[in-house]
Chain A
Amino acid sequence: MAQAPAELSAPFWDLIVVGGGNAALCAAIEAAEAGARVLVLEGAPKPYRGGNSRHTRNFRCMHQGPISVLTGAYGEEEYFHDLMLVTKGKTDEHLARMAIRTSESCLPWMEKHGVRFQPSLSGTLSLSRTNAFFLGGGKALVNAYYNTATDLGITVAYEAKVSHILIEDDTFRALRVTFGGKELEISGKAVVLASGGFQADLEWLARAWGPAARNFLIRGTPYNRGEVLKNMLDNGALSVGDPTQCHAVAIDGRAPKYDGGIATRLDCVPFSVVVNKHGQRFYNEGEDVWPKRYAIWGRLVAAQPDQVAYALIDAKSADLFMPSVFPAVKADSISELAQKMELPVEAVERTVAEFNRACRPGNFHPTELDSLATEGLEPAKTNWARPLDTAPYYGYSLRPGVTFTYLGLKVDDTARVSGANGRYTNVWAAGEMMAGSILGQGYLAGFGMTIGTVFGRTAGREAAAHVN
């Protein structure tokens, strides 16, 4: 680990990797194994190293037959089909297929570099075919990669924030970094940009989304502020994706502003009556199974006044979803619940009464679409519609939680970045920084880490070949 600014600026590095998450570390490790002298510049302090990758749980992996912890087979076509479903076609097929195909060889590579996978447990069985779960989650993965990096002699600098990429005639020369209270210029033969999206920059989000974005919660790291992305766009780098797009889900309204991670998710919506701050329903809570509909609730809540909504359930549903990190507000009647949640009592009572009247008898199946629908209600609830009639009642507040942004740099299948005059000679990008190329919309669970691993490794290998 580098301690002093002089250590960083003195040597002429083969490869400088900007960022310290999954994509960055995969690139650094590949390059170091190919013999390159590698410097990793992580903007965050050590306890927060690893960006959004430290909050992840799994990656999605193609496989012809059972490998490691994965059961059955998950072929290229099925994987690609799953991707098309969520992106609705907004994907670069060539890059997507490359990511999918390469994912298979990533799993043994990850194991070889210290990542441990969790044997499939009963609770997550449905995903044990498509997704491999990291033992301990993304932070354990990041720790393993940092240890590997240390063993390979890679220099890592924490709290090293990159603000500017110096490019002359399509060739990267140096970058500007704040480190140890100093502004440094560090030169290198090649650079891999892997500093994530810009979702932690609320002002940027507000420019794209409107002022409502200031009320959004950021599920991941506060350090992904897109400085490098912005600087590259200013440099004339080509971009993909839509700046107004971000992946947002509805999370517990009491979650921390940043870094709330997975524990702040709320799975209660399908069993709830969801109202806005005026006590009005605004969408069909029973449209589809969670988590398929998970993502759209972020946008729905974002469109409500003050970007907040309230999910109300009764005792019958209290145990039907994953426990949440903050306790629910609990009351003996709907009016008391509304009062405690500072909602207009009469409006909520009216909404719940109307909802209850619209419910019909039928068979309730919490784990599948059961068509237990309301009648004559607008908006309807088309599944799991059971009256709220059994005390105690529970309430959660919901807010949009941003996972990541889609705007990124345009890369080719060697992860090389393109500028106005074609590809740069020695600039590569990996991870969220370029994920928009493949994932133009929607979200496929576990694909973020797949993209980061595949393109990180590719970028590292290509960059090392370039400097050698």
Chain B
Amino acid sequence: MTTLTETTTPASKRLERRAARARRIREPRTDRIFLFCVYLLLGVFLLVVLLPLLYIVASSFSSPEAVSSGRVLFWPVDFSLRGYHAVFENPQIIQGYLNSLFYTVVGTIVSVTMTIAIAYPLSRRTLVGRNVVMTLILFTMLFTGGLIPTYLVVQSAGLLDTRWALIIPQAIGVWQVIIARTYFRTAIPEELVEASQLDGCGDLRFLWSVVIPLAKPMIAVVALMYAIMQWNSYFDALIYLKNPDLFPLQLVLRNILILNTTGGGAVDASVVIQRQQLADLLKYSLIVVASVPVLLIYPFVARYFTKGILIGAVKG
């Protein structure tokens, strides 16, 4: 008895296993090689993107001498914060930082308000004329007047060399309007509108107390898109602003990083060398400081950001 069961069980198990293996579709060996190549490829992608970033960050935390002698690779050499001290001692950079904060906060509030104000009515199916308006808005994506004609409008509006020149002319993004409108259409059921109308709720009240609370995730995405755009933009400042006190951080960055304007003449040769070394180091630290605000929020918003792109991209 016992011997019988002992001999049959492994046999049946083996059979079962074989049957299971037959049922599962086998991965051919070529597939495993292929998958290995895929991992290899992704690894290359990862390194290519990551290494320049690491190099910049590592340099920014190194000593001026180590950076100038090219000893820094992907890890700080002679750890020092001299570069960051230099960044925060520069009044131009501080002013630019504060200006950028202002432009980002005020610009985002203005943009989000305007976007909702146009996108919500356009999402209501009972609004006559909404298709005409939408077409007119979409057309501006395909054809623009150009740089000079736009400049002349900003000029005649009296916005040149004022803070508003960086906020008003690019207040509304067509892309964001599309995202908001699609969200309002798909997330706010028509039944909700009808029910609230029966309860005597007007359109504006409905927008304020039902639609906006329901659309918070989308509003967050759109707000972040505008905020990042504002924080990163320099072109409008370049053409509309002359007063350096109004310059956003990106324009200050351009002057320091790309045009190489480091002030002050020196007498002593060693002082010149030291100053040059510090100026080189400052660039690395400055890049890190300027990108930190955006990269800090990035991990929290990336997922929603992706969703935002998709709302705009996929048929809805």
Bound pair (A, B): no
Q: Using CB atoms and an 8 Å cutoff, list the residues of chain B in contact with chain A.
A: none
